[in-house]
Amino acid sequence: MPIYDYIYGTVDKNSNTLYENSVKRKEESPNVVHLTHLTTPESIYHLRLGFAYLASKPYSSVWYFWLLWPVTLWSMVLTKIYRRTFVVERNRFDQIRLQTWAIPKYRVQGEELNRYGEVYVKNHPQLKVKLVDGSSLAVAVLLNSIPKGTTQVLLRGNLTKVAFAVTVALCQKGIQVIVLREDEYEKLDKSFGTKSEDNLVISKSYSSCKVWLVGDDLTEEEQRKATEGTLFIPFSQFPPKKLQLVAKESDERMAHSWDTACFGRMGRT
């Protein structure tokens, strides 16, 4: 706390020079970059440069944010003025250098970011950078949550990029994916680029599948049509608000897959 040294006149005159010399170093290129951005005005406090207590937990609004509103308003002004990406955290593990960069925007809707950086990869085929979308972990968790030996799954809910990726992966593995709506079938089919090898099927039958991949827009009426022992695996960021469980076994298995999938989606990556 050098403020007391400045107050009482006990500051070592060499302190500033020593500090400036200690921070001088060659510019380093990071090996891994975690790219993040703001979502709401209060989300600035959840960055590491905000409150470490809030940064260590999932985002939520708390009452004392109202007391900080003048600071929040000032941060919004700075966000409008300073529009450059900045480093909020640096870490080093042996020879691996990791950095967290923040984009001073509340919404990042660019197609080049939302589609796994696909635009950059296509425009720069010689780019020696591997782009990893945060949804990749959720897709891996979902695929590992499906019991071994499963031959078909039912996909129901609003289509997200996680749903698209899971569908493609399952069809490539020879697992049949059943959808109930024609518009969903067409959207999923287009995502393959090539034929889905007849593993993507449209059907009106609910009873044939024992494994359901469910997301937002799953209705209670549809849930009631699940047969006894059906396993529900959510692919949405949050699980369905209300579920009509048909058996205790289904309840226990769904709760386990729910926790696993949610941790993969929301976990500390």
pLDDT computed for residue 191 by the predictor: 76
Handedness of CA 42, 46, 52, 57 (dihedral sign): positive
pLDDT bracket for residue 239 (50, 70, 90): low
β-bridge partners, 156: 214
Indicate the length of the chain as a whole number. 269
pLDDT at residue 247 is higher than 80: no
Residue 229, sorted as left (phi over 0), alpha (psi -120 to 50) or beta, turns out to be: left
**Secondary structure of residue 156 in the 3-state scheme:** strand
Domains along the sequence of the chain with CATH: 28-108 (no CATH), 135-266 (3.40.50.720)
pTM above 0.75, yes or no: no
More confident residue, 129 or 140: 140
Helices 135-145 and 161-172 cross at an angle (nearest 10°) of 50
Mean of all residue pLDDT scores within the chain: 76
**pLDDT (average), residues 230-253:** 60
> Strand pairing of 200-202 and 96-103?
unpaired
pLDDT at residue 253 is higher than 60: no
The pair of structure tokens assigned to 6 is: 């400045």
In whole angstroms, give the CA distance from residue 222 to residue 5: 70
pLDDT at residue 6 is higher than 70: yes
Would you list the DSSP string of 219-268?
-HHHHHTSPTTPEEEE-SSS--S------HHHHHHHHHHHHHHHHHHHS-
Question: Which residue's structure tokens are 């782009």?
Answer: 131
Nearest residue to 239 (alpha-carbon basis) of 216, 211, 223, 221: 216
pLDDT at residue 141 is higher than 80: yes
pLDDT at residue 256 is higher than 50: no
pLDDT 10s digits, 161-193: 888 888 888 988 889 899 888 888 888 888 776
The pair of structure tokens assigned to 184 is: 């969903």
pLDDT at residue 252 is higher than 80: no
More confident residue, 256 or 228: 228
Percentage, residues of the chain above pLDDT 70: 77
All residues at 6 or more sequence positions from 150 whose CB lies less than 8 Å from its CB, including other chains: 175, 210, 211
pLDDT bracket for residue 112 (50, 70, 90): low
pLDDT computed for residue 75 by the predictor: 80
pLDDT computed for residue 262 by the predictor: 39
Out of 39-48, 80-89, 96-105, 254-263, pick the least confident: 254-263
The pair of structure tokens assigned to 80 is: 């409008």
pLDDT bracket for residue 55 (50, 70, 90): confident
pLDDT computed for residue 53 by the predictor: 79
pLDDT at residue 231 is higher than 50: yes
Q: Which amino acid is at 93?
A: F
Question: Is 2 within 8 Å of 15 (Cβ atoms)?
Answer: yes
